[in-house]
């Protein structure tokens, strides 16, 4: 295989050829990608099953289906999105017509994580290509079967000078980050996000960082508790809790805690049976290292449900933890597994104390029928995005931008926002020649009064 600098230099040359500016060409690439993905559907399910026993149902709902929606959306709207957009002009610069041109950045690096290994590699690829960039994509080395499938699909779809996959781990990622890119799109953990940001800063390369953190789920005493338990048992244990926007922990009004815990236990048993290890619907933890990491969090915690850990088989049962200390490991680090701590509150200051104890979350959830409480909560805390009375579903609407804030990330994508993320918005004013008022030209004597009036009335 050619070295990274050689492949990148081919992509640079290809970008300079202007072929990526051709919208019909980009459309043909997206249609080819769609054909390859459809042809690989079962191989994709198979790969994720091999990687961490992800059930086909979950792969469809949380990876394949979302990728296909995004791809169809891009194919349907690309011509419209790519067109220069005329905007209202200022009378101060009359006669003029003003436009925003969407131009591709150029050569893009995408680094993907393992937890939704197909979705989080292919979705940014779709929008980067739609916007007219070339791409080098590095999937996660931890999901090696999915990584191979992605590499096959990309290789069969794109000329190498347009897009290619480079598989590998930290070493390869480090080598990739040492190159000069026009944009870097990274999804992964906060510590690696900082490494990416440092590498990008060297060349002032713009970045999107889709990171993680601890996302709280607040339940007040007006909430429909049975429904909350049902929905949380879905959103928390989907993908075995290995979801960046999973509820990391619950903060519940103290007077309803016991009723909620009982309801949640019932729902977990309904989902996965009395022995979740036998359930084919519960994925495994990605590797032994991560099982051990989560097991270390459980040590010293008060387990009130589940708690079974089998390192050899990468299994952790859906587990509930009662009232951990805020300075315990489980409340300091992102859990990223099927373990749910339950904390209580009595006053709003209690909630503030818990949430402001950590970084700005990627997601925040609130279960309540009290609109005032809901609105106050949404407005009080900084977080990437969230849901009222459910988990995760904001991810599924392409009209909502998806991204973090503060330590949970910077930038956003999904749908048209994704296309815009991979496009530089170039401002262009086209001036008419038939009028050229003399007010801006020296000598200025006697013109300032008129200028001030024009600014007052027309700006
Ligand atoms: P990770 O940061 O360990 O790895 C992500 C990618 O970075 C992988 O491709 C990996 O090979 C690469 N990488 C690892 N170490 C590197 C280094 N030192 N230098 C350069 N690259 C390196 O993350 P992960 O374990 O794959 O994923 C889990 C994390 O990702 C969680 O924190 C989760 O919250 C976050 N996440 C965020 C989103 C989001 O959309 N915001 C989505 C999924 C996961």
Give per-10-residue mean pLDDT for the chain (459 aa): 92 98 98 98 98 98 98 98 97 94 98 98 98 98 98 98 98 98 98 98 98 97 98 98 98 98 98 97 98 96 97 98 96 97 98 96 98 98 98 97 98 98 98 95 96 86
Nearest CA among 117, 121, 140 for reference residue 129: 121
Q: Which residue's alpha carbon is at the smallest distance from atom 43 of ligand 1? A: 244
Contact yes or no for 346/323 (Cβ under 8 A): no
Domain 216-403 fold is Aldehyde Dehydrogenase; Chain A, domain 2 (3.40.309)
Domain boundary assignment for the chain: 4-211+410-424, 216-403
For the chain, report the end-to-end CA distance as a whole number of angstroms: 58
Q: Are strands 85-87 and 134-138 parallel, antiparallel or unpaired?
A: unpaired
CB 405 less than 6 A from any atom of ligand 1: no
d(CA 117, CA 316): 20
Dist. CA 111 → ligand 1 center (Å)? 8
246, 238, 189, 242: which is closest to 217 by C-alpha? 246
Radius of gyration of the chain (CA): 25
Residue 141 a catalytic site member: no
**Ligand 1 atom closest to residue 138's alpha carbon, by position in its atom list:** 9
Q: Which of 244, 267, 314, 334 is catalytic?
A: 244
Contacts of 339 (CB under 8 A, 6+ apart): 241, 294, 297, 298, 306, 316, 319, 320, 321, 330
- Specify the pLDDT at position 209: 98
What pLDDT was estimated at residue 1? 66
**Does the C-beta of 174 come closer than 6 Å to ligand 1?**
yes
* Cα–Cα distance, 122 to 343 (Å, whole number): 37
- Write phi, then psi, for 121 (nearest 5 degrees): -95, -45
- CB count within 10 Å of CB 331 equals 21
Domain 4-211+410-424: CATH architecture, name and number where available: 3-Layer(aba) Sandwich (3.40)
Residues in the chain: 459
What is the reported pLDDT for 168? Answer: 97
pLDDT at 2: 76
Cα dihedral 320, 325, 331, 333 sign: negative
Catalytic choice (123, 210, 267, 334): 210
The pLDDT value given to residue 252: 98
Distances (CA, A) of 130 to 24, 26, 104, 291, 400: 10, 6, 9, 38, 19
CA distances from 377 to 87, 365, 372, 413 (A): 36, 9, 8, 24
Count Cβ atoms below 10 Å from residue 183 Cβ, excluding itself: 25
With a 6 Å cutoff on the Cβ, whether 334 touches ligand 1 is yes
Q: Examine the residue annotation and report whether 217 is marked as an active-site residue of this protein.
A: no
The answer, yes or no, to whether any atom of ligand 1 lies below 6 A from the CB of 178, is: no
Which residues are bridge partners to 303 per DSSP? 321
Would you say the CB of residue 235 lies under 6 angstroms from ligand 1?
Answer: no
HEC assignment per residue over the chain? CCCHHHHHHHHHHHHHCCHHHCHHHHHHHHHHHHHHHHHCHHHHHHHHHHHHCCCHHHHHHHHHHHHHHHHHHHHHHHHHHHCCEEECCCHHHCCEEEEEEEEECCEEEEECCCCCCCHHHHHHHHHHHHCCCEEEEECCCCCHHHHHHHHHHHHHHCCCCCEEECCCCHHHHHHHHCCCCCEEEEECCHHHHHHHHHHHHHCCCCEEEECCCCCEEEECCCCCHHHHHHHHHHHHHHHHHCCCCCCCEEEEEHHHHHHHHHHHHHHHHHHHCCCHHHCCCCCCCCCHHHHHHHHHHHCCCCEEECCCEECCCCEECCEEEECCCCCCHHHHCCCCCCEEEEEEECCHHHHHHHHCCCCCCCEEEEECCCHHHHHHHHHHCCCCEEEECCCCHHHHCCCCCECCCHHHEECCECHHHHHHHCEEEEEEEEECCCCCCCCCCCCCCCCHHHHHHHHHHHC
């Amino acid at each position: 295989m050619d070295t990274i600098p050689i492949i990148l230099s081919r992509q640079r040359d290809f970008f300079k050829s202007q072929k990526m500016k051709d919208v019909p060409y980009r459309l043909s690439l997206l249609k080819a990608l769609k054909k390859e993905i459809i042809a690989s559907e079962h191989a994709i399910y198979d790969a994720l099953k091999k990687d961490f026993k992800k059930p086909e149902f979950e792969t469809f709902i949380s990876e394949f289906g979302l990728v296909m929606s995004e791809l169809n959306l891009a194919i349907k709207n690309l011509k419209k999105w790519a067109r220069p957009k005329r905007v209202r002009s200022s009378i101060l610069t009359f006669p003029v017509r003003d436009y925003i041109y969407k131009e591709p950045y150029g050569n893009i690096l995408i680094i993907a994580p393992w937890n939704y290994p197909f979705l989080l590699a292919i979705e940014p690829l779709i929008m980067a290509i739609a916007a007219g960039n070339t791409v080098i994509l590095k999937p996660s080395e931890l999901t090696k079967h999915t990584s191979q499938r992605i590499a096959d699909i990309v290789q069969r779809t794109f000329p190498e000078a347009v897009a290619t996959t480079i598989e590998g781990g930290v070493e390869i990622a480090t080598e990739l980050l040492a190159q000069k890119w026009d944009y870097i799109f990274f999804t992964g953990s906060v510590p690696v996000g900082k490494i990416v940001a440092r590498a990008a800063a060297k060349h002032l390369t713009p970045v999107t960082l889709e990171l993680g953190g601890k996302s709280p789920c607040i339940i007040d005493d007006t909430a429909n508790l049975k429904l909350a338990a049902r929905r949380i048992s879905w959103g928390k244990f989907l993908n075995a809790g290995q979801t960046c926007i999973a509820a990391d922990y619950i903060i519940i009004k103290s007077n309803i805690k016991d009723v909620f815990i009982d309801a949640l236990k019932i729902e977990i048993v309904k989902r996965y049976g009395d022995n979740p290890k036998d359930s084919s619907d519960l994925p495994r933890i990605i590797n032994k290292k991560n099982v051990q990491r989560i097991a270390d969090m459980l040590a010293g915690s008060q387990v009130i449900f589940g708690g079974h850990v089998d390192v050899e088989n990468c299994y952790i049962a859906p587990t509930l933890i009662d009232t951990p200390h805020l300075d315990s490991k489980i409340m300091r680090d992102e859990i990223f597994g099927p373990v749910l701590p339950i904390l209580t509150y009595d006053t709003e200051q209690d909630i503030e104390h818990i949430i402001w104890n950590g970084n700005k979350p990627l997601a925040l959830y609130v279960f309540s029928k009290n609109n005032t409480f809901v609105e106050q909560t949404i407005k009080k805390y900084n977080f990437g995005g969230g849901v009222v009375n459910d988990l995760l579903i904001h991810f599924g609407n392409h009209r909502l931008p998806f991204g973090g804030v503060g330590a949970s990330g910077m930038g956003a994508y999904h749908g048209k926002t994704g296309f815009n993320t991979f496009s530089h918005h170039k401002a262009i004013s086209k001036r008419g020649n038939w009028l050229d008022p003399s007010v801006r030209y020296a000598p200025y004597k006697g013109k300032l009064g008129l200028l001030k009036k024009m600014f007052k009335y027309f700006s």
